[in-house]
Chain A
Amino acid sequence: MKLNRKHILGLREMSAGEIELVLDTASRMKEILARPVKKVPTLRGRSVITLFFENSTRTRTSFELSAKIMSAEAINIAVAQSSAAKGESLKDTLLTLDALTADCVIIRHPNAGAPEMAARYLKGSVINAGDGFHEHPSQGLLDLLTIRDNKGQIDGLNVTIIGDCLHSRVARSNLYGLQKLGANVTLCGPDTLLPREFGRVGARLETNCDNAVEGADVIMMLRLQNERMDGVYLPGVREYAALYGLNQKRLSKAKADAIVMHPGPMNRGVEIADDIADGDKSVILPQVTNGVATRMALLYLLLGGSEED
């Protein structure tokens, strides 16, 4: 039952079997989160370092909490106050962390490939917590777990991902994971934010949001990244909200038992209407809880032992 790898860099390189092992393990971890005493001793004495070169609340907190629940030592490096801010290179930062004998480094970086580089310099495990527009595997896995919790299985489901697919590592990780588990994936967004390459890996591309939502089992909204709203990709936020925002009228075209997901943080009233974010089809808060369970599973599978049972 050991995960056959040392690092979690992306879902593209993971097999369906490995993904299912993570999901099964995460399901079991959820019970711990419901206990009065949320602590198990299994990773006692292991050190986990979060190294975030980009802002994050939920991902970093979620990893830190997961490590602490499993009794690992969790240390957060605030990059703004670290030597990186004094001009230390990524390589030197990584070599320093290695010399500090970190068992696992969780890294978020604006450049795609930074976690892969980390994996080369570190003796411990590396988990990619988001690199550029590339991947965000723990988010992809927690989304898969949330879909499986609600739908029983993933094979054969119609999953529609709506928003800025071009700049979204969440969309990429989800696309790879969903396809491996047999879902039919539709990506939807304005032409400027919908790369043709996704079509070549088997996703259906759709610029009309109503068509994309039609018959969907799962609708996943992406955050409209304000930092991209410089007028090059989109004419304006209001037009985007009208054409690609999820409202009740649009949602009514999906299957009656469809669920709505969002990786957060949400721009309410832009990509998602208030009454949907807080409505009965929303699984946005269960996604956050599943995030902790998923990260516990990843840490356990990577750090939990050297031999199989």
Chain B
Amino acid sequence: MAETNNNTDEKTGRSVMDAGDIARALKRVAHEIAERNRGVGNVVVIGVPRHGVPIARRIAAHLEQIENCKVPSGALDVALYRDDYVRRIVAPQDTRVDFSIDGKIVVLVDDVLFTGRTVRAALDALNDLGRPASVQLAVLVDRGHRELPIRADFVGKNLPTSRYEKVKVLLKETSGEDDVVRIEKTP
């Protein structure tokens, strides 16, 4: 989201990952992706808007550096695949996948893994773009509380939370700074 970060104070929110933490976590995730797939020759990285997209781009850049070869990255919007469309209307964002995903190892990237419903929608959306060889999931933060049988293959940080809390990710690309903030909310 394009909100600016002015609530890192003790009352409303508290930083749980600073810029250095985020950079180290994403670099590690990239190494794990390269290790798991024994190189990245067949790997493409696709982010879910909004924050998944810049995170995917950063992971792809790390992978290129580590393996010294090109790694395509793209954006996959899931607004039209959500399972709550009867109740909620969500603004569609850009989908930009200018490469074929057929036969590729797709690393799907999102900022926060929570209920798993966004990932379910993303799997449906991917299906309409092509048939990947496999799909792996990378997230910056896993905060628990899954409502579907979905788990991440690569996790930047496991963050135990209460359902009533909010986890907000701020990124240089959208907010001018890198930060992960946990915000307490009363039930």
- Contacts from A to B (Cβ < 8 Å): 1-2, 24-25, 28-29, 31-32, 35-37, 39-45, 70, 300-301, 304-309
Query: Can you pick out 26 interface pairs between chain A and chain B where the beta carbons lie within 8 Å of each other?
Result: A24-B91, A28-B77, A28-B92, A28-B93, A28-B95, A31-B94, A32-B80, A35-B129, A36-B130, A37-B129, A42-B79, A42-B80, A42-B81, A42-B82, A43-B85, A44-B85, A45-B86, A70-B80, A300-B80, A300-B89, A300-B92, A305-B88, A306-B88, A306-B89, A308-B88, A309-B90
Asked if A1 and B91 make an inter-chain contact with CB atoms under 8 angstroms apart, the answer reads: yes
- Contacts from B to A (Cβ < 8 Å): 77, 79-82, 84-96, 124-125, 128-130
Secondary structure of the B side of the interface? loop
Q: What are the residues of chain B within 8 A of A70 when measuring CB–CB?
A: 80
Asked if B81 and A2 make an inter-chain contact with CB atoms under 8 angstroms apart, the answer reads: no
Query: A44 vs B84: C-alpha distance in the bound complex, in angstroms?
Result: 11
With A28-B93, A42-B81 already in contact, the answer to whether A307 and B128 are too (CB < 8 A) is no
Asked if B89 and A301 make an inter-chain contact with CB atoms under 8 angstroms apart, the answer reads: yes
A309 CB contact (under 8 Å) in B86, B89, B124, B128: B89
Nearest CB in chain A: distance from B179 CB, A? 23
Nearest CB in chain A: distance from B141 CB, A? 20
Asked if B86 and A25 make an inter-chain contact with CB atoms under 8 angstroms apart, the answer reads: no
Query: A1 vs B86: C-alpha distance in the bound complex, in angstroms?
Result: 15
With A28-B77, A304-B85, A305-B85 already in contact, the answer to whether A39 and B92 are too (CB < 8 A) is no
Q: What are the residues of chain A within 8 A of B85 when measuring CB–CB?
A: 42-44, 304-305
Asked if B87 and A305 make an inter-chain contact with CB atoms under 8 angstroms apart, the answer reads: yes
With A2-B89, A307-B87, A308-B88 already in contact, the answer to whether A41 and B94 are too (CB < 8 A) is no
Q: What are the residues of chain B within 8 A of A306 when measuring CB–CB?
A: 86-89
